[in-house]
Structure 1
Amino acid sequence: MTEPTFKKISVIGLGYIGLPTAAMFASRKIEVVGVDVNQHAVDTINRGEVHIVEPDLDLAVRAVVSEGYLKATTEPEPAEAFLIAVPTPFKGENHEPDLKYIEAAARAIAPVLKTGDLVILESTSPVGATEAMANWLAEARLDLTFPQTAGEASDIRVAHCPERVLPGKVMQELITNDRVIGGMTAKCSEAAARLYRNFVTGECVVASGPRVAEMAKLTENSFRDVNIAFANELSIICDKLDMDVWELISLANRHPRVNILQPGPGVGGHCIAVDPWFIVSSAQEQAQLIRTAREVNDSKPEWVLEKVRAAIGAHLMENAKCSATEVTVAVYGLAFKPDIDDLRESPALNIARHLAGEHTGPLLVVEPNIHELPRDLEAARLVDLATAGAADVHLMLVDHTPFKASAAPSGRIVDARGVWG
């Protein structure tokens, strides 16, 4: 017997993951309704345009909107499958996961659910979030049965399938990367795998349950975080010992079984800077290495700031008649990684904010992937590379392609990415 196909899909959350996912399903001639609380995003998408920067996304959205396969709205509609791709931030200063957006999304779609529907949580989440979502759905729809109580016979299928893509390559990796699927029952996993096979050419790997699928995504990003922390710690050690960390890593990586990553000003993005804390929150006594790596990476921006302060001080020492208000500092890059516009959890943005608050002189920002600065950087000026070249102190934070193609400017340089080293 042939399993039924999905004719209408709803994607809740039209951000960096939700919108590309919606466009991918729509490109397979499936009706997709995207839901977002941001009216500007909804209006932009319905014009066939995009509100985020991701290579090839604008072309895909324009095509599927014009063909009538994708529309955006602020209110959920009935569908056969619902994919929730909303943020999972922290609450307070102790890095406790905040599931309020997942809960809000679940309660928003609950009124339009019907027997046979599939609900997938795509948001990167702490262990147990999928089960919590299923409970919120059950609370809102007492007339339907859910896997946590009805098992395989449930009216609604529930699964977790985390995104595993790299910003800047989302449109390719959504298709080619394997998907980890953790259904609350075997039938939940089967339904989710059948949904993703509409466009995924990678393998749909079924985990033993949603908790393992949740932990798999957290583990992937924690692995990367620990390795970045090693590189960042090396950079601090090399600075103390008056060594070039870039030379050191290049030499060490000549060993056939060594592959040290490159240090930077910290770790950003919506995954690597966040996900390890979800593991720590679930196993505080056991996650010692993961916690330490997070602390190393979270402390790196302050180390960079100290280097900038020292560079400003050295400039003032050399120019005795100059005051701090006359020292121009240029910051190169705000995004959390090269060649994207994504500022989420960006250590570069955090450093620029601190400089804007403490430096009394002119602050220039070069970020070729945005058109205006965030509101809390209004004291700074968004400029091009040529204008920034006249600054007294140059702070390299993100190795965007245009920066790597430019010559090192004159003046004092603090290079956190080894671009001008």
Structure 2
Amino acid sequence: MQTPQASHSPVPAEGIRTVSVIGLGYIGLPTAAMFAASGKQVVGVDISQHAVDSINAGKPHIEEGDLDALVERCVATGHLRAVAAPVQADAFIIAVPTPVGPAPQNEPDISFVEAAARSIAPVLKQGDLVIIESTSPVGTTGHISRLLAAERPDLCFPHAPAETTDVHLAYCPERIIPGKMLKELVENDRIIGGMTPECSRIATGLYSAFVRGQCIESDDRTAEMVKLTENAFRDVNIAFANELSMICGDAGINVWDVIALANRHPRVSILNPGPGVGGHCIAVDPWFIVASAPERARLIRTAREVNDAKPGYVLAEARRLLDADPAAKAVCLGLTYKPDVDDFRESPSLEIAKALSSEYPGRILCSDPYAHALPAGFADRAGLVFVPHVDALTQASLVVMLVGHTAFRVHARPADKHVIDTTGFWI
């Protein structure tokens, strides 16, 4: 294993003139834009023709701070373009989804990463660099090296000892947050997990084109575990807050008062509870650790189960109030997985709204300033009725606050309605 260390003399990235980013979603597109802004020629690849066409028109298909202006500028200067199939480049960055399978197994699914690797195999050449950014189980980078070797037996890959390596591989996970992606891509430290020290140095040289945080060199398996550990740590801490909120709720105690007072202890810092845990990282990544060590990862598994159970607790409270007044209507405020983003992936709030709309047809209203980001026809198929939040608050007698979007700040806590405030928005 390489000893983790900050790189002081990375291999210069001047030799890497073209970068191809496979997957132009919430991670891939901002990454592609940052490389393009640094002067690289960037070719983004995505299977969605809508994404390709939008980007080539200088218009991102996702919402993210100043990404609109950055993409427009990079496309206009000719440094960024999108295509539907890979072409030759000097470096390839794989940034595709890595979901988990259905419960209770929750097995990691790296089929998208495998497909991305197979798609670039025909265009690889000697001297290329392949980087995996997708959150992956430990051992995925080595697996992809062997997969590529099977696809391209004419090239040498770093999993097999040899005098020379034709194609270098590294695992370099992102650690950014929606709403601040561009800032954090530049400022956050980066873990560079090369399969060999040379792989690490070359990858560090590439990221140094725009990263101002430290690029800390390690090996691929350590870097894979670091990414999973970061999100599992956060999941465990959120689970404590969510479990505490349910215990306090059952006891008739205000959990927000408990947390605020407990946090006055100099060594206590309890997070805020919510309706569950969503997004493609914290709600997914801990299962990768559980799958690799099911007998050891007892705390991590329990935390996932606690957070997955929280939406059911919110639903039970909403059902109790709706059943007590058969004429009552409820409004679900906020359906994305976190405030002020247009991302609905793994959102517990969306699942709560869908369940209530199915169980109480005609009685549930939904409001979210980012509802336009849902796929066309989704609301109709899910039975969701979207209305402006001002109208919804007027019509409903039960308010279920699920996501504290800034747009909702114009409203004080409704004094004449039942309120289920899952986030402490109105404390």
Q: Do they superpose with TM above 0.5?
A: yes
1:244 equivalent in structure 2: 254
* Root mean square deviation, CA, Å: 1.4
Alignment of 1:10-89 (within 5 A): 10-89=20-99
In structure 2, what is the Cα distance between the partners aligned to 1:151 and 1:181?
A: 22
Q: Does the residue aligned with 1:268 lie in a helix, a strand or coil?
A: coil
- 2 CA distance for matches of 1:151 and 1:92? 40
Residues in 1 aligned to 2:353 and 2:13: alpha-carbon distance in whole angstroms: 52
**Relative to structure 2, which stretch is displaced further, 405-414 or 35-44?**
405-414
Q: Is the 8 A contact 2:100 2:287 kept in 1?
A: no
Structure 2 contact 13–202 (Cα < 8 Å) conserved:
no
Name whichever of 389-398 and 217-226 sits farther off: 389-398
Confirm or deny that 1:140 pairs with 2:151: yes
- Residue correspondence of structure 1 range 105-144 to structure 2 within 5 A: 105-144=116-155
The alpha-carbon deviation at position 376 of structure 1 amounts to 4.5
- 1:192-228 deviation per Cα after TM superposition (whole angstroms, max 9, x unaligned): 0000000000000011x21110000100001100000
Residue matched to 2:202: 191
SS in 1 for 2:361: coil
For 1:70 and 1:373, the matched residues in 2 are separated by: 26
CA contact (8 A) 1:327 1:361 kept: no
1:294 corresponds to which of 299, 304, 313:
304
**Structure 1 residue aligned with 2:5:** none
The amino acid of 1:140's aligned partner reads E
Cα offset, 1:263, TM superposition: 0.3
Instruction: Name the residue aligned to 1:392.
Output: 397
Tell me how far 1:408 sits from its aligned partner: 1.9
Q: Among residues 157, 162, 165, which one is paired with 2:176 in the alignment?
A: 165
The answer to whether the 8 Å contact 1:373/1:382 transfers is no
| Aligned: 1:407 with 2:409 | no
Provide, for residues 364-420 of structure 1, a one-character-per-residue CA deviation record: whole Å limited to 9, x for no partner. Answer: 111112326554532222221211112121110001112234112332211101123
Cα distance in structure 2, aligned partners of 1:224 and 1:16: 20
Normalising by structure 1, we get a TM-score of 0.95
Structure 2 contact 236–304 (Cα < 8 Å) conserved: yes
Query: Could you tell me which residue of structure 1 aligns to residue 426 of structure 2?
Result: 420
Query: Are the equivalent residues in 1 in contact too, given 2:95–2:134 (CA < 8 A)?
Result: yes
Q: Partner of 1:321 in structure 2?
A: none
What CA distance in whole angstroms lies between the structure 2 residues aligned with 1:304 and 1:237?
Answer: 13
Equivalent residue in structure 1 for 2:379, among 377, 380, 384: 377
Alignment pair present for 1:95 and 2:116? no
Report the more deviating stretch, 380-389 or 195-204: 380-389
The one-letter amino acid paired with 1:354 is: A
How far 1:4 moved relative to its partner? 5.3
What SS is found at the alignment partner of 2:169? strand
**CA distance in structure 1 between the partners assigned to 2:386 and 2:361 by the alignment:** 17
Q: Secondary structure at the match of 2:159?
A: helix
**Structure 2 residues without counterparts, runs of 5 or longer:** 1-8
Distance (whole Å) between structure 1 residues aligned to residue 162 and residue 391 of structure 2: 63
Partners of 2:176 and 2:166 in 1: how far apart? 31
Partner Cα distance (1:202, 1:4) in 2: 17
Q: Which gives a bigger RCO, structure 1 or 2 (Cα 8 Å, sep 6+)?
A: 2
Judge conservation of contact 1:152–1:186 (CA < 8 Å) in 2. Answer: no
TM-score by length of 2: 0.94
Kindly report which structure 2 residues correspond to 1:202-213, keeping only aligned pairs within 5 A, or say none. Answer: 202-207=213-218, 209-213=219-223
Mind listing any 5+ residue stretches in structure 1 that lack a counterpart?
317-323
TM-aligned CA deviation for residue 361 of structure 1: 2.7
Alpha-carbon separation, structure 2, partners of 1:102 and 1:393 = 44
User: 8 Å contact 1:311–1:414 — kept in the other structure?
Assistant: no
